[in-house]
Amino acid sequence: MKFIRRLLALILLCLLCVGGYFGYKGYVKYEDALENMSIDQKAEEIKASPSYTPLKELPDIYLNAVVAVEDKRFYKHPGIDAIAIGRAIKNNIHARQLIEGGSTITQQLAKNMYFTQERSLIRKVAEGFMAIALERKFSKDEILELYVNSIYFGDGYYCVADASMGYFGKAPQDMNDYECTLLAGIPNAPSAYAPTVNPELARLRQKKVLDSMVEEKYLTREEADAIVSAAAGS
């Protein structure tokens, strides 16, 4: 029994040391990123794009779709969602592969603003520090606005306005419900879900978006089905 206790204490100590190492390295990476350009400067850089679209000009159903499928607790968490991370770990272990990331919209914005797509624990920790800093600097709506104006939609489109015009030939405020829910699903995997690449996969992803909206009570099941039916009948 004494041996087991010592072993557990040793394992705990090792975990604390490893956690401390990655926490320190992540914080240094976060600090270095801010030294190169402040959050305010990065935000102004995004807003300077001629395609930048204010949140008030975007359809509510599009914004609700984004939140429902990407980060359903967006308006409740402080930038990092421990519940989503725990759920992702559980699902990944169950599937025996990486199928879910647990990143919040704020974390994705932090990555888009400052970091590369490399998969490393140090980058993930730095992203977490940056997400908390973004939450302190901006309101939730400001974060969502920056997010939809800086994410990649495939086919070379890096904001909602360019994607709407490129895929549907219209400004984002003119998108119908079908187009809004289709577009909301693309950034999760643009190379797979872009409708020009694989229309069937794009529609399957849209179904996931609609199911999430029903689950989060943004739509009734009848309303979600009507969106798909209206497009099929047009």
CA pseudo-torsion sign 136, 64, 169, 185: positive
What's the confidence (pLDDT) of residue 72?
Answer: 94
DSSP 81: -
C-alpha distances in Å from residue 211, one per residue of 35, 76, 187, 195, 218: 42, 21, 17, 19, 10
Q: How far apart are CA 79 and CA 16, in angstroms?
A: 23
Q: Is 33 left (phi over 0), alpha (psi -120 to 50) or beta?
A: alpha
C-alpha distances in Å from residue 159, one per residue of 116, 172, 184, 207: 17, 10, 12, 22
Residue 218 falls inside a structural domain: yes
Question: What CATH number corresponds to the domain at position 108?
Answer: 1.10.3810.10
7 confidence band (pLDDT: 50, 70, 90)? very low
Number of domains observed in the structure of the chain = 1
What pTM did the predictor assign?
0.86
| Mean pLDDT within 43-52 | 96
Residue 152 falls inside a structural domain: yes
> The tokens 């989503």 sit on which residue?
84
Residue 187 falls inside a structural domain: yes
Domain that holds residue 66: 53-72+79-229
Residue 166 falls inside a structural domain: yes
Residue 22 falls inside a structural domain: no
- What pLDDT, in 10s, does the model give residues 55-107? 999 999 999 999 999 999 999 999 988 776 666 565 555 555 444 556 899 99
Task: Calculate the dihedral angle through the C-alpha atoms of 141, 142, 145, 150, rounding to the nearest 10 degrees.
Answer: -140
Residue 234 falls inside a structural domain: no
Q: What's the longest Cα–Cα distance across the chain?
A: 73
What's the confidence (pLDDT) of residue 19?
Answer: 65
Residue 3 falls inside a structural domain: no
Residue 45 falls inside a structural domain: no
